[in-house]
Chains A and B, each alone.
Chain A
């Protein structure tokens, strides 16, 4: 009956996949329950090591209301969003330029090698002395941790666009700026976006690190809940936050993936709603562009005159 599942690389239906995943969750929950059930003295693991599932979930209302779970989650997200947004704003354009011009890539190579190979935790002390112990330090920590990855991924995405597209654009009369803006960037953008999505997950992991290391005070954020619960209890909250983090991360990832599919239907097979929205914006921009640039009359192309040929 189950022999079908052992055919090599056999795909499973979505509901079967869901069932298997649920099976995994139930197994973990079962082991957890087995290890922690019964009276506190008779348990395999004492309550100080691991509280039981029931005890853990019973403290959820307290976490939600008294410790302001939503506000703290949003505080963490805000830091990641700001730090990551800044890293994107700097890293993507620079990466695109590096991909277009290898001499720039060579110039930034030390930065990107350093940034990608340094263990980010080692940067925390430095960020404290540079940016203080406030909000800025956490945002800049995320920025520093991500920007090198974003830069080199963007540069690689541009470099991976096949030369034949550049050749084609040039033989169709595109100028260098047009090749970059109309060919290289749009063709590389799906993979740039994809790597941004994956890196965002990484950044979300780093913010915990930044929030766990702190000098006194309530700085807020999910990491802060963990460290405070570790010191003052209840320990159940640590477990709850550990469950909540991947759920939030998954939700964000799925959201970004939806955007990605809708932006690039030709690459990821979405229905293209966002792609059309961007298209409408571009058309709108072209409507008003004539105020700045005079359009070429089409007749100039249909009957080429010798003087025009020489110009090209």
Chain B
């Protein structure tokens, strides 16, 4: 997203809510009928109950509704925050169409105007666990999706090398390494490359930097922002770090606990300056403090139950 672009569609704003630091609270959901095309992702009263009908049934999310619009040629960066166990991964995996989260117990999950029927390469996903295929070299990991689509060896390796370069790995040194020879940060770079190489419209990231040290983490955040601008996709990014969410997000969703619902939706200034710089600004810190208070309120109310 380029700096200073006005939000394409006007949003109904809660009249009481003024700006909070670099962010402001917005009403949800915007009315889909007023939008031009079908929204990128739409949840309509989605409830997910695990082990439904059995004694250990557990409702992870209840009645979640939201809409993420299709901003043509730009995409949006949506960060999802919330206490542990509130159903963030559940939401993400419902969009991805992965079992056992998919299908939803009630309600409807739509992607680009069609109900989700299963996983597909149009919704790439980066997991917190390292999921590089151990028997494949970095190059073969990065080009896995292309191989599945039947792209010829030469073409996919050419493109694969470009992407290895783009995520900041050293092509000559790293392309023939096996995953066990890589550090955690390098593995996540490989995971990002192999997802983005397919140019998905939606990128789902479930705490991808959760296992990285703070320094590597900031580098990865900056890398992600740069790459995301190139691929023009809508990103869903789950994280436990409020700073990360406020820095990366155009929009931050805050979920509440057991069963999870969407509590608040905030609009944040885009990440148009380096992570280290933006995170030092007082306005940034004001937003972080606001969200932190909100979440600890949630945690306390849950503990009181």
Contacts and interface: CB of A to CB of B under 8 A. Distances in A.
B122 A296 contact: no
Contact of A295 (B134, B150, B159, B179): B150
A132 to B, nearest CB: 44
Contact of B148 (A164, A175, A189): A175
Contacts of A170: 98, 118-120
Interface string B188-213: 00000011011101001000000000
Interface string B140-181: 000011111111110110110000000000000000001110
Given A173-B145, A182-B144, A286-B153, A312 B98 contact: no
Contacts of B127: 164, 167-168
Interface in A231-269: 264-267
A307 to B, nearest CB: 12
Nearest to A272: B178
Contact of A302 (B123, B124, B199): B199
A189 B153 CA distance: 24
Interface residues of B, number: 43
B146 A301 contact: yes
B133 interface: yes
Interface in A171-214: 171-175, 178, 182-183, 186-187, 189
B144 to A, nearest CB: 6
A264 B178 CA distance: 11
A183 B133 contact: yes
A170 B150 CA distance: 15
Nearest to A170: B119
A283 B154 CA distance: 11
Contact of A187 (B114, B135, B150, B195): B135
Given A187-B135, A298-B159, A301-B199, A173 B149 contact: yes
A260 to B, nearest CB: 14
Contacts of A283: 153
A186 B136 CA distance: 9
The A contact surface, by secondary structure, is helix
Contact of A310 (B98, B114, B159): B114
Contacts of B123: 171
A182 to B, nearest CB: 7
Contacts of A267: 134-135
Contacts, number: 115
A296 B199 CA distance: 15
A266 B134 contact: yes
B286 interface: no
**Most chain B CB within a 10 A radius of its CB, from A164, A189, A265, A290:** A164
B148 A178 contact: yes
Interface residues of A, number: 40
Contact of A167 (B119, B153, B201): B119
A75 interface: no
A285 to B, nearest CB: 11
Given A293-B150, A295-B150, A295-B152, A171 B133 contact: no
A168 B131 contact: yes
A309 interface: yes
A186 B144 contact: no
B61 interface: no
Interface in B125-141: 125, 127, 129, 131, 133-136
A171 B134 contact: no
A43 to B, nearest CB: 59
Interface string A21-51: 0000000000000000000000000000000
A312 B120 contact: yes
Nearest to A293: B150
Nearest to B114: A310
Interface in A126-171: 162, 164-165, 167-171
B144 A172 contact: yes
A172 B150 contact: no
Nearest to A267: B134
A304 interface: yes
Given A283-B153, A310-B112, 5 more contacts: A168-B125, A171-B123, A172-B195, A302-B199, A304-B201
16 contacts: A167-B98, A171-B98, A171-B119, A171-B120, A171-B124, A172-B194, A173-B120, A174-B145, A174-B148, A186-B133, A266-B179, A301-B198, A302-B199, A303-B199, A310-B114, A312-B120
Interface of A: 162, 164-165, 167-175, 178, 182-183, 186-187, 189, 264-267, 283, 286-287, 290, 293-298, 300-304, 309-310, 312
